[in-house]
Amino acid sequence: MAAGTGLLERPAQLDYEQRLIQRIRDGEHEAFDVLIRPYEKRVYAAALALLRNEADAEDCAQEAVLKAFKNIRQFRSEAKFSTWLIQIAINEARMRRRKQRVDLTEPIETGRKEEGTYAPREFADWREIPSETLERKEVREKLAEALSSVGQMYREVFVLRDMEQLSIEETAQTLGISIASVKTRLLRARLMLRDLLAPGLAGPWGRDLSLAKAVRQS
């Protein structure tokens, strides 16, 4: 899902994207297909994790891509194109959720203030999920089920940081919240999801990295 993210960090790749964006702005619209191709699965995955419905996620991803194309001149080069695109997708998903009013009753923990506490159960430590693990169908299905049980503000942070592998700063920028809020929500999201998934799924990749270390590396 996040496969290839490392390659997109390379200066040569970033320069290539900037050239593509300029070509699109100059009227070469066909270049947009090349620009968007590496991120299509990531946009859909983010939308699906938030909307929890494949048809809605597909519509959301398509709308996000369309909005990115229409507003390509508003993209600022100091940001990463992938971050900007994911932000559009997240905003689109939020709008759809508001229209559907699916969050009238918040599940685990979101009825409490962010300053509250969450008491985790004693299971194997959690760590960021490797992208190759997310490629396994059974992992994706169980994670999607668990994500549906946590509140939206935790789900958003977890999706962006641990699934899309945005940095803490990029996650804060995308969601329009503080870095401190990202860290707080991410910790609680990890704890809640660890409790929901452990020991069946959390163990294999949580065995060698403590939660404290994972939080410090965030």
> Cα(122)–Cα(116) distance, rounded to whole angstroms?
19
92 and 142 part of one domain: no
Over residues 4-18, mean pLDDT:
64
Residue 110, domain member (yes or no): no
- CA distance from start to end of the chain: 19
| C-beta of residue 193 within 8 angstroms of C-beta of residue 174 | no
Choice between 99 and 184, residue whose per-residue pLDDT is larger: 184
Specify which residues 108 forms β-bridges with.
150
> Cα(141)–Cα(48) distance, rounded to whole angstroms?
11
152 and 66 part of one domain: no
138 and 179 part of one domain: yes
* Cis preceding linkage at 199, omega within 30: yes
Residue 112, domain member (yes or no): no
Decide which of 82, 100, 118 is a domain's last residue: 100
Residue 202, domain member (yes or no): yes
pLDDT computed for residue 207 by the predictor = 40
12 and 69 part of one domain: yes
Choice between 29 and 197, residue whose per-residue pLDDT is larger: 29
Residue 87, domain member (yes or no): yes
Which band of pLDDT confidence, cut at 50, 70 and 90, is reported for residue 126? very low
> Cα(55)–Cα(51) distance, rounded to whole angstroms?
9
pLDDT computed for residue 97 by the predictor = 84
204 and 136 part of one domain: yes
Residue 170, domain member (yes or no): yes
> Cα(156)–Cα(142) distance, rounded to whole angstroms?
17
pLDDT computed for residue 52 by the predictor = 82
For residue 68 the two structure tokens come to 């990115």
Over residues 122-131, mean pLDDT:
47
Mean pLDDT over each residue of the chain, to the nearest integer:
75
| C-beta of residue 96 within 8 angstroms of C-beta of residue 51 | yes
Lowest model confidence (mean pLDDT) among 140-144, 145-149, 184-188: 140-144
13 and 58 part of one domain: yes
Residue 196, domain member (yes or no): yes
Choice between 141 and 131, residue whose per-residue pLDDT is larger: 141
> Cα(174)–Cα(158) distance, rounded to whole angstroms?
13
Q: What is the pLDDT of residues 157-203, one digit of tens each?
A: 999 998 888 899 999 988 889 999 999 999 999 888 888 876 554 44
> Cα(106)–Cα(122) distance, rounded to whole angstroms?
24
Lowest model confidence (mean pLDDT) among 39-43, 57-61, 69-73, 102-106: 102-106
Residue 164, domain member (yes or no): yes
Q: What percent of the chain is predicted at pLDDT more than 90?
A: 36
Q: Give me the CATH number covering residue 183.
A: 1.10.10.10
Q: Give me the CATH number covering residue 40.
A: 1.10.1740.10
Residue 126, domain member (yes or no): no
91 and 137 part of one domain: no
Instruction: Look at residues 201, 52, 211, 44 and name the one whose alpha carbon lies nearest to residue 133.
Output: 201
9 and 95 part of one domain: yes
Which band of pLDDT confidence, cut at 50, 70 and 90, is reported for residue 11? low
> Cα(149)–Cα(79) distance, rounded to whole angstroms?
32
Lowest model confidence (mean pLDDT) among 24-28, 124-128, 144-148: 124-128
pLDDT computed for residue 2 by the predictor = 41
Over residues 38-43, mean pLDDT:
90
145 and 64 part of one domain: no
Structural domain for 171, as ranges: 131-217
91 and 140 part of one domain: no
Q: What is the pLDDT of residues 49-78, one digit of tens each?
A: 888 888 999 999 999 999 999 999 999 877
11 and 94 part of one domain: yes
The number of domains in the chain is 2
96 and 145 part of one domain: no
pLDDT computed for residue 105 by the predictor = 44
